[in-house]
Amino acid sequence: MTDFLRVYSETPLDGKYRILERLGTGGMGEVYKAEHVYLGAIRVIKVIRPQISGSQDANDRFLREARAATRVQHPNVAVLHDFSALPDGSHYMVWEYIDGENLAQRLRTRGTLPPAEAVRIAIEALRGLEAIHRAGIVHRDIGPENLMITHDGGNVKIIDLGVAKIESDVAVTQTGIFVGKLRYAAPEQLGFLPDNERIDARADLYSLGMVLYEMLAGRPPFEGKSPHEYLRIHSGDTALQLVDLKTLPGDASLQAILRKALARDRNKRFQSATEFIAALTMEQRTPSSAHREAAAPTVITAIGDAAPTVVTRRADGGVRPSWVVLFIALAVLAGLVYFFSRTPTTETAATITAAPPAQATPAETSVSVVAAPSKTEAVAPQPVATHTVAPVVTETPAPPPPTPQPQPTPAPAPHVEETHVAAYTEGGDGDANEPLLEHLRSQLHGVNRIALQAGAMQDELAKALQHEIPSLTIADSADVVIRFEGTLEHLGRGRKRRAATASVVKNGRVVFRYEMPSEEYRVGSTPVEAFTDVFSSAIDH
């Protein structure tokens, strides 16, 4: 196979695949990038070593697996296009080419991922596993290297079904050969399986739980230096006590999900990818977001003898500014009514109704006095008592004109240098976004104090940032300021529209710009959540 690249770069394989370069080497063979000379499409060709596919039994098994893989058509699974044999006894598979990076590469670059991003990747991978399992296939080699993330939209695709097995096949452990990566393997893949039982889809779910843990912690929960050490880790009932979930980012519900996914007993794990997805989807609806979506409670208060005042609170616990102004105005009015109702003058607002002027004489004035109801009495028509009183003439000197007070001069707004900075686009080209994110990381190194200018989303953004970055201090002023504007509309029938723009200003200069183009969607992050994921990935915490 050492001459494979040289031979088939000149003469197309099977007359249609021109080999362009070698992408990697694995335990089962080598992987190449190729071009379909007639379609002009890029493909990936995986060549299986003749030592592995040399027997008729192995040939039959690979062919059955390839046929099964062609039945899996799902956006989160790479497509198998072709399968054939070479003259030397090797077999090759032709797969969809994915322009992106695998999860292992992303973790090497970033170390860890924010919980929201990790959960999103896990859900997409589980959707792919759901399709694979529905086709009767167990992948058996789920790990970061086999989860590709596209550059164009950050979509997840499962690759490398080359070691997968049909669920109806005999268990691989009966042959004494282990296939897959020890680091992410379920206990039953290492031989801890009762007699007459087979490896099933729950092994893949365990491996995906290991991957989710690594995205959050930056390392797998178990580290072994040899196959024997991994066997020892899984050999005892107390082995999983080594997983310290309390140190992971995320809340208690996410820790409970991981605990179930990593159960040594597969009967205590999630029993299907669908069940695992449902748990993570519920986790995405964090308490803070659920609280924001709840209807705003109404508080009714009564002041003195005035009518009740209705104050509507925002779902995040604050009071809407417009209601605060109305509340104060009504309170002042109630105070005036209370004061004048107890002052004997000829004009008492709301409690003394003057008779028409035509009935008045210089000697007497008829007025009607209506008693105001107490707080505990229902308002009902009251009898009108008519009294004849002598007019009271009071000359009140005109108040002196108010002394004009000097008006404070508003502080000038801080100057922001609007230099041209390319925008990081949500869901955009990863090759274009990553350098911008890397520049932001360099600007935020050592920063632990920021200020926010986010308008109506100020409180929501502050809570989201402090949830993702507990060490971050949000102050009224700081060297680093986030200016954020976002919109989120609920269109009905589960549809929503979102859009956002933001900039990060450091010492009066824009160092980062963020854009979320306006779009309709059903499932996904809010503008605040999406921006928080990006910002938190760039700041030290």
Residues taking part in catalysis: 141
Please give the Cα distance from 189 to 233 (Å, whole number). Answer: 13
- If phi over 0 gives left and psi between -120 and 50 gives alpha, with beta otherwise, what is residue 14? left
| Residue 250 per-residue DSSP state | S
Q: What angle do CA 249, 250, 252 make, to 5 degrees?
A: 120
Alpha helices for 27-167 (secondary structure H)? 56-69, 103-110, 115-134
For residue 200, CA distances in Å to 163, 168, 197, 206, 231 come to 14, 9, 9, 11, 19
Tokens of 380: 């009902």
Check: CB of residue 63 under 8 Å from CB of residue 83.
yes
- Amino acid letter, 135: A
Q: Is 144 helix (H, G, I), strand (E, B) or coil?
A: helix
Check: CB of residue 70 under 8 Å from CB of residue 49.
no
Please give the Cα distance from 210 to 279 (Å, whole number). Answer: 16
Check: CB of residue 421 under 8 Å from CB of residue 512.
yes
Residues 6+ apart with CB under 8 A from 181: 141, 143, 145
Nearest to 106 by CA among 1, 211, 226: 211
Tokens of 70: 């062609």
Most distant CA pair in the chain: distance in Å? 129
Please give the Cα distance from 486 to 534 (Å, whole number). Answer: 15
Please give the Cα distance from 312 to 300 (Å, whole number). Answer: 9
The percent of the chain in helix, strand and coil, each rounded to the nearest 5, is 35, 25, 40
Alpha helices for 86-239 (secondary structure H)? 103-110, 115-134, 202-217, 227-233
| Residue 517 per-residue DSSP state | E
Q: Report the DSSP beta bridge partners of residue 304.
A: none
Looking only at the bridges linking them, the beta strands covering 449-453 and 480-492 are parallel
Residues 6+ apart with CB under 8 A from 170: 198
Give residue 84's Cα distance to chain centre. 42
Check: CB of residue 369 under 8 Å from CB of residue 387.
yes
Q: Report the DSSP beta bridge partners of residue 85.
A: 91
Tokens of 171: 């268990």
